[in-house]
A and B are shown apart, each in its own frame.
Chain A
Amino acid sequence: QVQLRESGPGLVKSSETLSLTCSVSGDSITSSSHYWGWIRQPPGKGLEWIGSIDYTGKTYDNPSLTSGVTLSVDTSKNEISLKMSSVTAADTAVYFCARHHALFGVYTVLQEFDSWGQGSLVTVST
């Protein structure tokens, strides 16, 4: 059974860079049928997709996000990482990583998030 665990600082200063890591166990990051995604949830609000990455480093990300988002993958550690630059208080949220089922063909179609980490609260201080 796949397990995902987010880790990183719980407090980040405004205008600095938020960095989180997601460690995956029970499945390989190099899975041919999955991407690995990041989703966030501000306190009391709904879910917002940040982006997803496959083991080759190919990414899809949310064009609506204004903060600079960088996704990366480390296959040797079976981990993915998220960096968001120049954060503001609006980036305060619980950040989840999740396994993202994908269909590969002429086009890649990202489907459901079938397993989630427990989430990591990141607070941006002003």
Chain B
Amino acid sequence: SYVLTQPPSVSVAPGKTASITCGGTLIGTKVVHWYRQKPGQAPVLVISNDSDRPSGIPERFSGSNSGVTATLTINRVEAGDEADYYCQVWDSSVVFGGGTKLTVL
């Protein structure tokens, strides 16, 4: 079965740029979606189709996907961005990455 690998944690200072990676075999040939989940809340879609931002998601959020790595980039990080982030693909089955905890220092 297909496996998505995310770093368990990423730390970033406020105002800086956070990059959260999602690795998988030839992931660049798949479509990647990203979710943000704050404690006690349901996940929220922040990026779909590799790089599309749903309505209501700030322009600070962007995504890219190539080769073996997809990346969620958050510019000008704010304290409110602190959350768990999950990547997801379809490989004849839904596959989620293990999640990355983003800590804002």
Contacts and interface: CB of A to CB of B under 8 A. Distances in A.
Interface of A: 37, 46-49, 52, 60, 62-64, 96, 101, 109-114, 116-119
Interface residues of B, number: 23
B94 interface: yes
Nearest to A107: B92
Contacts of B96: 46-49
B49 A117 contact: no
Nearest to A115: B45
A60 B93 contact: yes
Given A46-B86, A46-B98, A64-B1, A113 B93 contact: no
A118 B42 CA distance: 5
Nearest to B54: A114
A111 B31 contact: yes
Contacts of B90: 109-111
Interface string B38-60: 00011111001100001000000
Nearest to B48: A112
B94 A49 contact: yes
